[in-house]
Structure 1
Amino acid sequence: MSSHAPLGELLQAASRPFHDAVAMPPGVYKDEAFLGRELETIFAQEWMCVGRASALAAPGDYLTCEVANQPIIVLRDQKGELRALSNVCLHRMSTLLEGSGRARSIVCSYHAWTYNLDGTLRGAPFMKETTGFCKEAYKLPQIRCEEWLGWIYVTLNPAAQSVRERFRPVEELVAHYGMESYVECFRESHVWDTNWKVLAENFMESYHLPVCHAATVGPHSRLEEMICPPGSPDFNYHWITKEASLAIGNAHPDNVRLEGHWRKTTALLALYPSHLITLTPGYFWYLSLHPKGPGQVHITFGGGLSLEFMADPKAEDYVRDLKRLLDEVNLEDRGCTEKVYRGLKAEAAKAGHLSYLERPIYDFLQYIAARTGGFEREFQSAAE
């Protein structure tokens, strides 16, 4: 199937007003050609979150990821600076590092070509007699890497606007939480059998909480108090008041930044294309998504605590409780989102109308239409 048919249906859906909005058509989730369009126009162009800077604390700390088929190493170099490098050896093109850890140098497991943490070639066995070989001419390509509010982002696009400028409105929106000081306590990778947009949309809306998460966070979520403002060019968000299922869901007694209702208000942020953050007064958790085909998504999943809870004598208990809760929530979300993908592949599948509580999904739909098909979005000015 050509990507033109799903794209045409997507553009039609994007043109509808919000009061008559419908979900994205099934084709944009299951069509291989449309995914190729997304990789080219979205994932190869945008900033992708790979985790928290606090997880790469010491020189040599590294993690690996893949963006639009480009393997990448993100590390803390010997000078203490964050750096991203191509994770492909310049000899026979093997990938170099796997997973995460700490390394004094980058050693290829194929022929032991060895690189310094800045990407320069340190050594290449049995190459001295090779005519034309010059060690100094070899250096792993640098990938753009920036830190913003404690998050690490990478992009393959040398012309992309800086993360700080792009997400400045987000920074202003959640400044009172002090998100930059939250500490990541765990980070994992998973692969689920669903489309990346299905999972992104699931994270963007809380309409499903009372049903999908009836055994965990659902009973503590007040949908009648949810606020879903119109989105912005680079992100959408909504607020929800929770009677926290964990003590860390509300502000710590030592937290003097948050007052009144903010001490129990959760922000749910969707930073396009696929960095999804639940930010509570005491903890955060996040997903960063990358497609592995129309029907699979690679998930970077992590979470951590605010400084007040990290300083609490019971910090280890809080981390354990948070991890247990989020593992249960993820299990519930996996079941829901994999069912959606199975359903949308059916011949009878048809996108239905969105609830007013799914405003972020409408904004995300228009973002996808803009990036893949040139749809012109409209946004209200601050004065309107």
Structure 2
Amino acid sequence: MAQQKTLGDLAGTRKELLHARHLPGEFYTSPEIYAREIEQIFMRDWICVGRVEQYPDPGDYRAMRIADEPVLVCRDQAGTLRALANVCQHRGVEVVQGVGNANEFSCPYHAWVYGLDGGLVGAPYSREVADFDFEACSLPRIQLDTWAGYIFINFDSDAESLTDYLAADQVQEVAAFLHADETRIADEYVFELDCNWKFVPENLMDIYHVGVIHSGTFGKGFAVEKFPFHLTKYGYHSEYESLTMAPDGAWLFGKPMPWLERKSKSFAFTVFVRPSFNMFARPDMLQPWFCHPLGPDKTRVTVLTQYPDEWFEQPAFEQKNQVVKDFIRLVASEDKEMMHSLQNGVGSRNFTPGPTMGLEKAIHHLLNAYLDRMFGEDI
């Protein structure tokens, strides 16, 4: 009954932008809606989990949880990147934790041993078991593919290819000029927020708040009124004007990346990849944000800073990079407080969804694409 009431409140969100309203608060607090999101979105979509250069050598691995599912990403002895369910096929314990390098993975509970390809290679006392089948006890494989150096996984073995998935929003076409595959990570900033995962991509495409919350950082050079929204099937992209991602718009590296040499110092670009990947570019760097839900009101956020190889060879590179690291953490801190407040506010009995503004065009589009995915276009 409660869900029927919530669905009945969506007529306002479904209206045209300047007549519409934001989502009801239940969409950010309800365990039932969250569970549906996991099944309808995160178990079907391609999810960004990092970069290829984070796994340079055979045996390199990272364990993580994506939408409540334990996942292990590693590079095997043949050099192939793999995504595996990080769930021992004996009792379900997570086989490995954290980040590292290993020749094999040993479950900490009963010492079942798995190869880098997920195959079971050892299980104490398994000879005592009738018809013990090592092959049937391999760690389940999860689809993995890459685009522009980013690693994506998909829990659905029947999902469309990553190529087709991205093409639905022309991502490869509109972002090709960024040459993300010719950059590498200089900083990885990971933090958790006490808010629903949807607030992260919504906030990152919320042009309305930039001149308010970020007025002391990059917002003071942000041409809000000139921001062009290019909507696609599920997302959007935009080339716009902004300060660099350094204090007072500093030109730390002295020039743009080679493939952006014709862009001005005020160049900025963004593209959204559903469900939760926001790419940002400046002339001298890339800074993608992506998030993973940890619960109805808990989210893990990752922000990468990427440069071309030649930046790493510049004099005083570490000092310059530290300036950028400090600045992105300052910018994120400006948003953190607001997103925590958003989560508290939408759970209040006094919250009524407000109108969507013209500068919230991308959010309005995102919300309606989300509702299509969750409940169909007729709701």
* TM more than 0.5: yes
Hey, what does 1:76 align to over in structure 2?
Answer: 75
Alpha-carbon deviation of 1:136? 3.8
Hey, what does 2:236 align to over in structure 1?
Answer: 236
1:352-374 CA-to-partner distances (Å, cap 9, x unmatched) read 22222211101110111111110
Conserved 8 A contact 1:204-1:237 = no
Hey, what does 1:32 align to over in structure 2?
Answer: 31
Mapped to 1, the partners of 2:113 and 2:204 lie a distance apart of 41
1:182 aligns with 2:188: no
CA gap of 1:376–1:103, structure 2 versus 1, over 3 A, is farther
Hey, what does 1:118 align to over in structure 2?
Answer: 117
Conserved 8 A contact 2:284-2:307 = yes
Alpha-carbon deviation of 1:255? 3.5
Hey, what does 2:66 align to over in structure 1?
Answer: 67
Greater shift in the superposed pair: 282-291 or 364-373: 282-291
1:372 aligns with 2:349: no
Mapped to 2, the partners of 1:91 and 1:188 lie a distance apart of 35
- Of 313, 331, 354, the match for 1:329: 331
Mapped to 2, the partners of 1:252 and 1:219 lie a distance apart of 21
Hey, what does 1:162 align to over in structure 2?
Answer: 161
Mapped to 2, the partners of 1:272 and 1:214 lie a distance apart of 28
SS in 2 for 1:33: helix
Alpha-carbon deviation of 1:149? 0.8
Conserved 8 A contact 1:86-1:140 = yes
Alpha-carbon deviation of 1:120? 0.9
Hey, what does 2:196 align to over in structure 1?
Answer: 195
Greater shift in the superposed pair: 255-264 or 347-356: 255-264
Mapped to 2, the partners of 1:28 and 1:213 lie a distance apart of 27
Query: Structure 1: which 5+ runs fail to align?
Result: 378-384
1:264-283 matched pairs, under 5 angstroms: 264-283=266-285
- Of 305, 322, 344, the match for 2:346: 344
Mapped to 2, the partners of 1:166 and 1:263 lie a distance apart of 32
1:82-97 matched pairs, under 5 angstroms: 82-97=81-96
1:22-48 CA-to-partner distances (Å, cap 9, x unmatched) read 222212112221111111111111111
CA gap of 1:159–1:365, structure 2 versus 1, over 3 A, is same
Mapped to 2, the partners of 1:287 and 1:211 lie a distance apart of 21
Greater shift in the superposed pair: 83-92 or 190-199: 190-199
Mapped to 2, the partners of 1:112 and 1:238 lie a distance apart of 51
Conserved 8 A contact 1:104-1:117 = yes
CA gap of 1:180–1:270, structure 2 versus 1, over 3 A, is same
Hey, what does 1:210 align to over in structure 2?
Answer: 211
1:226 aligns with 2:230: no
CA gap of 1:254–1:295, structure 2 versus 1, over 3 A, is closer
Which amino acid in the other structure matches residue 193 of structure 1? Answer: D
Greater shift in the superposed pair: 167-176 or 43-52: 167-176
Hey, what does 1:109 align to over in structure 2?
Answer: 108
Alpha-carbon deviation of 1:237? 2.5
Conserved 8 A contact 1:248-1:282 = no
SS in 2 for 1:154: strand
SS in 2 for 1:207: helix
1:127-138 matched pairs, under 5 angstroms: 127-138=126-137
Hey, what does 1:8 align to over in structure 2?
Answer: 8
SS in 2 for 1:257: helix
Mapped to 2, the partners of 1:255 and 1:297 lie a distance apart of 32
TM-score (norm 2): 0.92
SS in 1 for 2:207: coil
Mapped to 1, the partners of 2:360 and 2:40 lie a distance apart of 25
Mapped to 2, the partners of 1:187 and 1:77 lie a distance apart of 23
Which amino acid in the other structure matches residue 238 of structure 2? Answer: H
Alpha-carbon deviation of 1:341? 1.2
Hey, what does 1:287 align to over in structure 2?
Answer: 289
SS in 2 for 1:227: coil
Conserved 8 A contact 2:68-2:294 = no
Conserved 8 A contact 1:244-1:250 = no
Conserved 8 A contact 1:7-1:369 = no
Mapped to 1, the partners of 2:7 and 2:58 lie a distance apart of 45
Mapped to 1, the partners of 2:35 and 2:264 lie a distance apart of 42
CA gap of 1:76–1:355, structure 2 versus 1, over 3 A, is same
Hey, what does 1:153 align to over in structure 2?
Answer: 152
Mapped to 2, the partners of 1:215 and 1:228 lie a distance apart of 24
Alpha-carbon deviation of 1:328? 1.0
Which amino acid in the other structure matches residue 228 of structure 1? Answer: F
Conserved 8 A contact 1:305-1:319 = no
Conserved 8 A contact 1:14-1:369 = no
SS in 2 for 1:362: helix
Which amino acid in the other structure matches residue 46 of structure 2? Answer: W
- CA RMSD of superposed structures (Å): 2.2
Alpha-carbon deviation of 1:6? 2.3
Greater shift in the superposed pair: 235-244 or 270-279: 235-244
Which amino acid in the other structure matches residue 119 of structure 2? Answer: T
1:101-120 CA-to-partner distances (Å, cap 9, x unmatched) read 22211111111111110011
CA gap of 1:162–1:14, structure 2 versus 1, over 3 A, is farther
TM-score (norm 1): 0.90
Conserved 8 A contact 2:242-2:267 = yes
CA gap of 1:262–1:375, structure 2 versus 1, over 3 A, is farther
Conserved 8 A contact 1:194-1:337 = yes
Mapped to 2, the partners of 1:254 and 1:35 lie a distance apart of 42
1:266-296 CA-to-partner distances (Å, cap 9, x unmatched) read 1122211111222222222233222222222
Mapped to 2, the partners of 1:175 and 1:311 lie a distance apart of 25
Alpha-carbon deviation of 1:241? 0.8
Conserved 8 A contact 1:51-1:187 = no
CA gap of 1:249–1:132, structure 2 versus 1, over 3 A, is farther
